[in-house]
Amino acid sequence: MDAITIKDIARALNLSTSTVSRALRDSYEINAETKRQVVEYAERLHYRPNPIAVSLKENRSRVIGVVVPQIANLFFSQVINGIEAVAYNRGYHVSIFQSHESYERELATVQQVVSRKADGLLISLSSNTTDVSYLRQLQEKKLPIVLFDRASKDLDVPSVTADNFAGAFAATEHLIQSGRRRIAHVAIPAGISIAQERLAGYRFALEKYGIPYDEKLVRHAGFGPNEVEPIVDDLLNQMPDAFFAASDRLALGCLATLKKRKISIPSQIALIGFTNIAVADLLDPPMSTVEQPALEIGQVAAGRLIDLIEGKQKTASSEPVKIATRLVIRTSTQAGL
């Protein structure tokens, strides 16, 4: 079956091709009833715009560049799913790059995005990125940019993240309400925006319940495979009764080390993570965590970027979008076990 074209839609609805084209672009020049008829007919026959024809006509590539620290990270895989779903429905292709947590590689991949004439950039900053001046320069050249998950206060662009502060507060409050008082926090690298937000949520919960903040109970871990075990051993010297890990990856490292040390979870030490990886409920014990709305972050970020590209947002509001997290309670934090 041949792909349906704008001419086919116009012929079927007895409209001009220019009217159909404008209706599919949601133009203000077309009345709501005509738009509805065109869109419904196009959807029923699975109409897809020809990306080459569209890009030539609009002088756009219809491509969005996406830069993530790691594609293998399940959270970023889910974000990409959300980005691709929205981009596809709005007639855009997605080019995906990864920085491997390196500022130099991030810089190189963004240069690739620009050289490929992408219409806009979605980026989650690497853990080593402290200088965002190169993004500011691109912004000054009118490249639409939206940050997601990891943002920067030094860049006046839209950002879409989870509500990391509220999620960390909820996790810590849950531990306190379960009777825990010596709560160790294994954080991600301090330079990442989400590390600061989650640490702030942890501290605020302690403050609310009158528990003094003890910096000896906080350690920052990097992304190396063997970094968590010595950190957990060091924290055990502080006699914690719970661990709040700032990611499920770190929580898995905590779990493995505690088991190796023959420490019972949760009767001796409770454990909670942050992400809600797919296997969290299959662990022994099933692990409590804070669910990050990864798919929604991707969908909202892609929608905001495309609105900027298409001029539906005249100015790039830098007011951050924070999407609610959800506390998922499982056996690893239950009191009395």
**Tens digits of per-residue pLDDT, 99-129?**
999 999 999 999 999 998 999 999 999 999 9
Choice between 265 and 39, residue whose per-residue pLDDT is larger? 265
Q: Residues 208, 138: one domain?
A: no
180 lies in a domain? Answer: yes
Which residue segment(s) compose the domain that 10 sits in?
A: 6-49
Comparing 165-179, 230-244, 304-318, the range with the smallest average pLDDT is 304-318
Rg of the chain in Å (alpha carbons)? 24
Comparing 57-61, 228-232, 271-275, the range with the smallest average pLDDT is 57-61
Report the chain's terminal Cα–Cα distance, integer Å: 62
pTM: 0.81
Q: Residues 140, 286: one domain?
A: no
75 lies in a domain? Answer: yes
Q: Residues 278, 300: one domain?
A: no
- 205-225 per-residue burial string, b: 16 or more CB within 10 A, e: under 16: bbeeeebeeeeebbbbbebee
Can you read off the two tokens belonging to residue 161? Answer: 């993240």
Q: Residues 270, 209: one domain?
A: yes
Residue 258, pLDDT score: 97
Q: Residues 78, 141: one domain?
A: yes
29 lies in a domain? Answer: yes
pLDDT in tens, 160-198: 999 999 999 999 999 999 999 999 999 999 889 999 999
pLDDT class of 278 with cuts at 50, 70, 90: confident
1 lies in a domain? Answer: no
Q: Residues 288, 298: one domain?
A: no
Number of domains in the chain: 3
Q: Which CATH number fits the domain that encloses residue 244?
A: 3.40.50.2300
Closest CA to 79 of 121, 123, 120: 123
Name the helix (H) or strand (E) containing 109.
helix 103-115
Strands (E) located in 82-228: 93-98, 120-123, 145-148, 159-162, 183-187, 218-220
Check pLDDT > 60 for residue 314. Answer: no
pLDDT class of 55 with cuts at 50, 70, 90: low
The residues pairing with 96 across neighbouring beta strands, listed in sequence order, are 66
Choice between 61 and 91, residue whose per-residue pLDDT is larger? 91
101 lies in a domain? Answer: yes
Residue 114 burial by Cβ neighbours in a 10 Å radius (0-12, 13-18, 19+) = middle
